[in-house]
Structure 1
Amino acid sequence: MRLRLAVAIGLAALAASGGTAQTYDDRPAKAVSPNYGFNYDRRVVDIPMRDGTKLHTVILTPKGASNAPILLTRTPYNAEALTTNRKSGDLGTALYGYDNATDVIVDGGYIRVIQDIRGKYGSGGTFVMNRALVGTAENPTKVDDATDCYDTIDWLVKNLKASNGKVGILGISYDGYEPLAALVNPHPALKVSVPMNPMVDGWMGDDWFHNGAFRQMGMDYIWEQEATRDNSLPWVSSSDDIYDFYMRAGSAGELGKRMGLEQIGFWKSILAHPAYDRFWQDRAMDAYLGKLPLKVPVMLVHSLWDQEDSYGALATYRALEPKDVNNDMVYLSMGPWHHGQEIEDADTLGQMRWGQDTGTWWRKNVLAPFLAHYLKGTPMDVAPVTAFESGTNEWRRFQSWPNEAGEGERLYLKPGAALGFDAAASGEETADYVSDPAHPVLFRNRPIQAVGYDNNNPWPNWLADDQRAVSSRPDVLTFTSEVLTQPLKISGRPMVKLTASTSGTDSDWVVKLIDVWPDQVPGRPGFGGYQFAVGMDIFRGRYRQSFSEPKALTPNAPLQYSFALPAANHVFLPGHRIMVQVQSSWFPLYDRNPQTFVPNIFFAKPADYVKATQRVLVAGPNESYIALPVVK
Structure 2
Amino acid sequence: MKTAASLSAGLLLSAALAFAAPAAAGAAPARVTPMTPDIVTAYDELRPSADFIKRVEMVPMRDGVKLYTVIFMRKGVKDAPILLSRTPYDAQKSTARVASQKLTEVLPAMDAPFVDDGYIRVYQDIRGLHHSEGEWIMNRPLAGPLNDSGIDESTDAYDTIDWLVKNVAESNGKVGIIGSSYLGFTALMAEIDPHPALKAAAPQSPMVDGWRGDDWFHNGAFRVSSFDYALEMSQDKGSGSAIPHGAGDDYTLYLKAGSAGDFARQWGLDAIPFVQKLMQNPAYTPFWSLQAVDALLAQRPLTVPTMLIVGQWDQEDSYGAPAVYRALADSPRRRAPVSLVIGPWRHSGVNHYGYELGALTFRGDTAAEFRTRYLKPFFDHYLKDGADPRTPAALSYATGADRWNESPRWPMGTPTPLYLSAGFGLSFDKPAQAGHDDYVSDPAKPVPFLPRPIHMGDPFQWKPWLVHDQRFVSDRPDVLVYESAPLDASLHIMGAPGVELYAATSGRDSDWVVKLIDIYPDDSPEPAREGSKPSLAGFELPVGIEIFRGRYVHGFDAPRALTPGKVETYRFALPNVDHVFLPGHRIGVQVQSSLFPLYDRNPQTWVDNLFDARPADYRAATQSVHRGAAHASRLLLPVVR
Q: Does the TM-score normalized on the shorter chain lie above 0.5?
A: yes
The answer to whether the 8 A contact 1:61-1:111 is kept is yes
Matched position secondary structure for 1:122? coil
Q: SS in structure 1 opposite 2:580?
A: strand
Aligned counterparts of 1:401 and 1:120: Cα–Cα separation in 2: 37
Are 2:104 and 2:116, in contact at CA under 8 Å, matched by a contact in 1?
no
Q: Does 1:473 align with 2:476?
A: yes
Deviations 1:173-195 (A, max 9, x none): 00110110011110000000110
> Which residue type is aligned with residue 237 of structure 2?
R
CA contact (8 A) 1:390 1:571 kept: yes
Contact 2:509/2:605 (8 A) holds in 1:
yes
Measured after TM superposition, the shift of residue 325 of structure 1 is: 8.6
1:132 is aligned to 2:135? no
Q: 1:201 is matched with which residue: 209, 218, 221?
A: 209
Q: Do the aligned partners of 1:238 and 1:245 also contact (CA within 8 Å) in 2? A: no
Q: Residue 569 of structure 1 is aligned with which of 570, 578, 581?
A: 578
**1:49 maps onto 2:61 in alignment:** yes
Once the 2 structures are TM-superposed, how far is the Cα of residue 327 of structure 1 from its aligned partner? 9.4
Q: Could you say what secondary structure the match of 2:463 adopts?
A: helix
Q: Equivalents in 1 of 2:116, 2:543: separation in Å? A: 35
1:250 and 2:262 correspond? no
CA distance in 1, matches of 2:273, 2:526: 53
**What is the aligned partner in structure 2 of residue 58 from structure 1?**
70
Superposed structure 1 runs of 4+ greater than 4 Å apart: 16-20, 324-328
2:305 counterpart residue number? 297
Question: What displacement does 1:294 show?
Answer: 1.2
1:313 matched to 2:321? The reply is: yes
- C-alpha distance in 2, partners of 1:325/1:378? 27
Q: Could you tell me which residue of structure 2 aligns to residue 88 of structure 1? A: 100
User: Judging changes above 3 Å, is the alpha-carbon distance between structure 1 residues 452 and 282 closer, same or farther for their aligned structure 2 residues?
Assistant: farther
Q: How far apart are the structure 1 equivalents of 2:97 and 2:274?
A: 34
Looking at structure 1, the residues matched to 444 and 136 of structure 2 have their Cα atoms a distance apart, in angstroms, of 38
Secondary structure at the aligned position of 2:544 is classed as strand
Specify which of 260, 263, 268 is matched with residue 271 of structure 2. 263
Check whether the contact 2:300–2:333 (CA below 8 A) recurs between aligned residues: no
Contact 1:328/1:384 (8 A) holds in 2: no
Matched, 1:491 2:494: yes
Tell me the SS of whatever aligns to 2:513: strand
Q: Is the 8 A contact 2:52 2:75 kept in 1?
A: yes
Which residue of structure 1 lines up, in the alignment, with residue 22 of structure 2? none
CA positional deviation for 1:61: 1.5
Distance 1:452 1:200 in 2: 25
Shift of 1:328: 6.1
Partner of 1:586: 595
**1:248 alignment partner, SS class:** helix
Equivalent residue for 2:426, pick from 399, 419, 423:
419
Alignment pair present for 1:410 and 2:417: yes
CA distance in 2, matches of 1:574, 1:318: 32
- Kindly provide the CA deviation profile for residues 282-311 of structure 1, in whole angstroms up to 9, marking residues without a partner as x: 210001100101111000001110000010
Return the letter of the residue paired with 2:82.
Answer: I
**2:225 match: secondary structure:** helix
- One-letter code aligned to 1:32: D
> Deviation digits for residues 554-579 of structure 1, max 9, x if unmatched?
00111111101111111111100001
Contact 2:395 2:407 in 1 (8 A): yes
**Contact residue 57 and residue 115 of structure 1 kept, 8 A:** yes
Kept in 2, the 8 Å contact 1:239–1:245? The answer is no
CA contact under 8 A between 2:525 and 2:536: conserved in structure 1?
no
SS at match of 1:323: coil
Q: CA deviation at 1:18?
A: 7.4
Equivalent-residue separation in structure 2 for 1:516 and 1:276 (angstroms): 36
3-state SS of paired residue (2:631): coil
Q: Any residues of structure 2 matched to 1:129-528 within 5 Å, and which?
A: 129-135=138-144, 137-323=145-331, 329-379=337-387, 380-402=389-411, 408-426=415-433, 428-453=434-459, 457-524=460-527, 526-528=535-537
SS in 2 for 1:229: helix
Question: Deviation digits for residues 301-348 of structure 1, max 9, x if unmatched?
Answer: 011100000100000000111137999610111100000111111111
Distance 1:613 1:54, change over 3 A: same
Q: Deviations over 1:39-59 (max 9, x none)?
A: 111110010100000000010
Matched residue of 2:231: which SS?
helix
* Structure 1 residue 17: Cα displacement: 5.8
User: What is the distance in 2 between the residues matched to 1:107 and 1:520?
Assistant: 47
Letter in 2 for 1:523: E
One-letter amino acid of the structure 2 residue matched with residue 297 of structure 1:
P
Structure 2 segments unaligned to the other structure (5+ residues): 1-8, 15-30, 528-533
Q: Give the aligned residue type for 1:596.
A: T
Contact 2:525 2:535 survives alignment (8 Å): no
| Residues 345-383 of structure 1, C-alpha deviations (whole Å, 9 max, x = no match) | 111110011222101110110111111111101112432
Deviation at 1:126, TM superposition (A): 0.6
Identity of aligned residues (%): 47
> How big is the shift at 1:101?
1.6
Mark the runs of 5 or more structure 1 residues left unpaired by the alignment: 1-8
Partner amino acid, structure 2, of 1:138: L
Deviations 1:222-270 (A, max 9, x none): 1000122041343222343111111111111111111111121111111
Partner of 2:20: none
TM-score by length of 1: 0.93
TM-score by length of 2: 0.92
Secondary structure of the corresponding residue to residue 101 of structure 1:
helix
Q: Distance in 2 between matches of 1:187 and 1:210?
A: 33
Confirm or deny: 8 A CA contact 1:215 1:590 kept in the other structure.
Answer: yes
Deviation at 1:201, TM superposition (A): 0.3
Partner of 2:604 in structure 1? 595
Structure 1 residues 34 and 378: CA distance shift in structure 2, 3 A: closer
Equivalent position SS for 1:317: helix
Asked if 1 retains the 8 angstrom alpha-carbon contact of 2:73 and 2:115, the reply is: no
Shift of 1:35: 2.1
Provide the residue aligned with 1:5 in structure 2.
Answer: none
How far apart, CA to CA, are the structure 2 residues paired with 1:282 and 1:73? 25
Deviation at 1:107, TM superposition (A): 2.8
